[in-house]
């Protein structure tokens, strides 16, 4: 009897789809379930084809980013020579994975050429995943949330450069044809946010709505800024929070369906930071290279896509004012 049961199970396994068990392959499946910012919402039929295409592109790029690769095969790269240090760069996932890679890989290529160093781009499928990796010190350099520089800097990351041409601001958007015309109408409503600890996209919005208008919303965290705006565009939620510069970079088919209801006070922009384990000489070389890139037309164009309009030096003092905002009350 036991043998028959074993045989039935063995036949069933042979007939069933084979799922990967290797740890090197598993992120493929994990990413397919997690990297689509809008994979679990019901889309209206008129958006279906467009969203399927964008979703496929995002999944393919997210697959490679989550695995921690720099798409070496795509770039024709070879492994770093023996004894040569390779630095890992993390980027907070403001956009879908394919767009992030398209922005940051060319910038890192230019930085490699300028510094003679090697940089590997390591992605995360969602903001929460990035925050966990950042908090564990998995990145040598990062483009990171100012909240984790000025308030919760567990690893002691050091700011190198930031945008001197634009300040950070959060926005609350509603559908263009929404009857909502005041943030007071959002009291008690479910509002999408990219992540609990997103400075401009969540923390500052929730703090200012409560402190200035007495409005408390029910947060729905949807992993990325893109996803927050998309949830509003397709009607899953009545409103969503995000970063102003990220809204400006949305595709016309999404942006044209939205209306800005509220904009926060301006905040210090996201810095490019270095882990203190990175030697001082290397930190200064990277900082000097970024400033030099910002002085050339080609480098300016690369940085503008981040977006950094005018790169300049950054210091810890730039982010000290965040401590006075009592943002910890909304921290996850």
Q: What is the pLDDT of residues 99-148, one digit of tens each?
A: 999 999 999 999 999 999 999 999 888 888 999 999 999 999 999 999 99
DSSP string, 206-248: HHHHHHHH----EEEE-SSHHHHHHHHHTTSSSEEEEEHHHHH
At 83 the pLDDT is 59
- Contact assessment for residue 313 and residue 319, using Cβ atoms and an 8 Å cutoff: no
Domain 170-263, CATH class in plain words: alpha beta
Q: What is the pLDDT of residues 157-199, one digit of tens each?
A: 999 999 999 999 999 999 999 999 999 999 999 999 999 999 9
**CA–CA separation, 198 and 170 (whole Å):** 10
The per-residue pLDDT of the chain, averaged, comes to: 81
Instruction: Give the CATH class of 46-71+84-165+269-330.
Output: alpha beta
Which sequence spans correspond to the domains of the chain?
46-71+84-165+269-330, 170-263
Q: How far apart are CA 219 and CA 240, in angstroms?
A: 9
Judged against a pLDDT cut of 60, whether residue 54 lies above it is answered with no
Same fold, 46-71+84-165+269-330 and 170-263: yes
Q: Does the predicted TM-score (pTM) go above 0.75?
A: no
CB atoms within 10 A of CB 19: 8
Q: What is the pLDDT of residue 16?
A: 33
DSSP state of 163: E
User: Cα–Cα distance between 190 and 231 in angstroms, integer?
Assistant: 11
pLDDT tens column, 248-300: 999 999 999 999 999 999 999 999 999 999 999 999 999 999 999 999 999 99
Of the chain, the end-to-end C-alpha distance in Å amounts to: 53
**310 pLDDT exceeds 90?**
yes
Give tens-digit pLDDT for 212-221: 999 999 999 9
**Rounded to 5 degrees, what are φ and ψ at 143?**
-105, 110
Cβ–Cβ under 8 Å, residues 107 and 302:
yes
C-beta of residue 202 within 8 angstroms of C-beta of residue 195? yes
- Angle at 166 (CA atoms; ends 206, 135), nearest 5 degrees: 55
Closest CA to 237 of 218, 214, 255: 218
């Amino acid at each position: 009897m036991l043998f028959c049961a074993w045989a039935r199970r063995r036949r069933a396994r042979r007939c069933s789809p084979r799922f990967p068990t290797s740890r090197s392959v598993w992120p493929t499946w994990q990413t397919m379930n997690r990297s689509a910012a809008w994979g679990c919402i019901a889309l209206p039929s008129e958006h279906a084809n467009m969203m399927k295409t964008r979703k496929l592109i995002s999944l393919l790029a997210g697959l490679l980013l989550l695995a921690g690769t720099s798409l070496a095969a795509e770039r024709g790269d070879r492994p770093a020579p023996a004894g040569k240090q390779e630095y890992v760069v993390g980027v907070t996932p403001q956009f879908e994975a394919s767009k992030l890679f398209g922005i940051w890989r060319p910038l890192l290529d230019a930085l490699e050429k300028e510094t003679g160093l090697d940089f590997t781009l390591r992605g995360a499928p969602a903001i929460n995943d990035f925050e966990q990796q950042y908090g564990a010190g998995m990145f040598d350099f990062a483009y990171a949330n100012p909240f984790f520089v000025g308030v919760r800097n567990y690893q002691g990351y050091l700011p190198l450069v930031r945008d001197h041409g634009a300040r950070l601001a959060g926005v609350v958007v509603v559908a263009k044809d929404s009857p909502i015309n005041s943030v007071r109408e959002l009291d008690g409503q479910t509002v999408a946010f990219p992540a609990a600890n997103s400075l401009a996209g969540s923390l500052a919005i929730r703090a200012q709505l409560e402190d200035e208008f007495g409005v408390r919303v029910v947060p729905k965290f949807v992993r990325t800024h893109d996803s927050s705006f998309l949830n509003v565009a397709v009607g899953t939620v009545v409103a969503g929070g995000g970063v102003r510069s990220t809204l400006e970079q949305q595709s016309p088919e999404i942006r044209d369906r939205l209306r800005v209801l509220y904009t926060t006070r301006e905040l210090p922009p996201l810095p490019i930071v270095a882990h203190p384990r990175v030697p001082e000489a290397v930190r200064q070389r990277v900082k000097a290279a970024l400033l030099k890139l910002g002085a050339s037309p080609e480098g300016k164009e690369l940085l503008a896509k981040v977006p950094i309009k005018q790169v300049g030096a950054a210091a810890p003092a730039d982010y000290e004012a965040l401590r006075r905002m009592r943002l910890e009350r909304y921290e996850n």
